[in-house]
Structure 1
Amino acid sequence: MSESVSVRCPACRREHLYAAPAYPCECGAPVVPPLDPAGTATAVTHRAWDDEWISVRCTACGREGEWPRPELGCTCGTLLRVPVARASAEDEEAEPPKAPAPRRAFQPITIRTARDAVTAAAVYLRWLGYRDIRRADQRPTSGIGIAAHGLLAQVDPTVRPASLRDVECLWLTAMTESAACVYFSLSGYAPDARARADTLGVPLFVLDLTGTPQPVNTLADELDSTGAC
């Protein structure tokens, strides 16, 4: 369990006790962003990928991954960005310990917001073995694009099924970057989108509210079974 810190809202001055959530590393150990008890919380006024994600090293295996920056909603309506401690120079230079390679059981992230959907997809891709997960350079036609080494993924948290155009645009963008692609949707896919994905070689997943990607086509089944090549 992570240590709780006191967080003061800069808008209403209320104090809250906050503990950072733990995320599952590929090795199976929990990863918790290190909080700075001496830092000052700031109000979130706009969204930017670089501000929302931080690099955290797993203390068990040494892998470094991108995870959501801790946030807390105050009762006054202000969304607070909780301060995170910086790693010391010794921690940054230390050689990470070795860890076993086999994949552990997937540990999903419950989906309550669009941000959670992106986190769930990123956690799943990391579990499959993809590295360097980040925001995609090009914005997709709908949803949010994330990328990993050799892969482009689209996460669609909207309430409408993904369309034929959505799937084709993802595939075309991936082709220009010489990358494979995969689609995650909360609301499924239109019939023609599913048919087109099969011909283009695009794995399709539906994210259920537990955060577990459910394969929709055979390509997704194969990816889930084999992981990143």
Structure 2
Amino acid sequence: MESVPVRCPVCHRDHAYVTPVYPCPCGAPTAPPLMRGAPAVVITHRTWNDDWVSVRCHSCGRRDQWPHPELCCPCGAVLRVPVRPVATQGTTAPSPTGGAAGPPHIPPSPTAAHPRPSFRPLVIRTARDAVNTAALYLRWLGFRDVVQPEVRTGSRIDLRAEGLIAQVDATTRPTALRDVECLWLNALNTSVSGALFSLAGYTDEARSRADGLAIPLFALDLTGTPQPVNGPADELVSTGP
């Protein structure tokens, strides 16, 4: 798999980014061609068109739309990794491929009390996909009876599990301080824990408040691979519920 150095323009931390590999319908592994030397871009506003990139299969020449490579820096910034554009001549790009197997699976946590099977991500194309991905991830962590309320009330709770409520922010703006505090109050009132999933990352104020309230924060990317972005989330991944 191709790897390129990526520097976060916010905290200047260096990362070695490995591009996710997807299966073309012909069966050949396909990956977005990363552009070496080009600076990563901080995602501050999302649009669904910008979140997809054309990728051509080297085996059959087919061109499909796949999630644009992204990297979640520990500082909280969500970075878009530049890719080489695909020439417009040749096969016409079909609609985003359905049922893709996604990137390599997340390995089981070595410190978890009970080793987990590999997590199978769900490619995110809609807000509903984001909620479904968070539900799959919570079940993978070990939460039981994960359900989606039939009606999303003013509490904005998207998922409930035994001992947990979770909110999934699939908007194009970073999750704000108010969302963290509202989730914490809802969890406190129902004597359960809370967790947040966000597609556009978190503001600095939200991250700081979540750390103080011990609210796990997870960043979603379009490959459907949740990533912990604060200490409480790391602990939850390591120890489970």
- TM-score (norm: length of structure 1): 0.53
**8 Å Cα contact 1:140/1:154 also seen in 2:** no
2:166 to 117, 129, 153: 153
Residues 18-59 of structure 1: per-residue CA shift (max 9 Å, x gap): xxxxxxxxxxxxxxxxxxxxxxxxxxxxxxxxxxxxxxxxxx
Letter in 2 for 1:174: A
Q: What is the CA–CA distance in structure 1 between the aligned matches of 2:230 and 2:222, rounded to whole Å?
A: 19
| Match for residue 139 of structure 1 among 153, 163, 174 | 153
CA distance in 2: counterparts of 1:107 and 1:227, whole angstroms: 17
1:204 to 212, 217, 233: 217
1:65-80 equivalence runs, <5 A: none
Residue 138 of structure 1 deviates from its aligned partner by 6.4
CA contact (8 A) 1:153 1:182 kept: yes
Instruction: Report the AA paired with residue 215 of structure 1.
Output: P
1:140/1:218 CA distance change after superposition, 3 Å: farther
**CA distance, structure 2, for counterparts of residue 163 and residue 222 of structure 1:** 22
* Contact 1:153–1:181, Cα closer than 8 Å, also in 2: yes
**CA spacing shift, 1:140–1:203, aligned 2, 3 Å:** farther
- How many percent of aligned residue pairs carry the same amino acid? 60
Q: Secondary structure at the match of 2:158?
A: strand
Partner of 1:213: 226
Q: Could you say which residue in structure 1 is the equivalent of 2:49?
A: none
Matched, 1:113 2:117: no
Query: In structure 2, what is the equivalent of residue 127 of structure 1?
Result: 140
- Give the partner amino acid of 2:202: Y
User: Are the counterparts in 1 of residues 155 and 186 from structure 2 also a CA contact under 8 Å?
Assistant: no
Confirm or deny that 1:176 pairs with 2:189. Answer: yes
Post-superposition offset of 1:141: 5.7
CA 165–141 in structure 1, closer or farther in 2 if over 3 Å, else same: farther
Deviations 1:53-102 (A, max 9, x none): xxxxxxxxxxxxxxxxxxxxxxxxxxxxxxxxxxxxxxxxxxxxxxxx74
Give the ranges of 4+ consecutive aligned residues of structure 1 lying more than 2 Å apart after TM superposition.
135-142
Q: Which residue of 2 aligns with 1:103?
A: 116
Measured in 2, the distance between the counterparts of 1:140 and 1:122 equals: 20
Which ranges of structure 1 fall in alignment gaps of 5 or more residues? 1-100
Q: Distance in 2 between matches of 1:121 and 1:168?
A: 20
Instruction: Summarize deviations over 1:114-156 as a string: whole Å, max 9, x none.
Output: 11100100000000111111124763565x5211000010000
Task: Compute the RMSD of aligned alpha carbons.
Answer: 1.7
Structure 2: gaps spanning 5 or more residues: 1-113
Q: What TM-score do the two structures reach when normalised by structure 2? A: 0.50
Q: 1-side partners of 2:201 and 2:229: how far apart?
A: 8
> Greater RCO between the two (CA within 8 Å, min separation 6)?
2
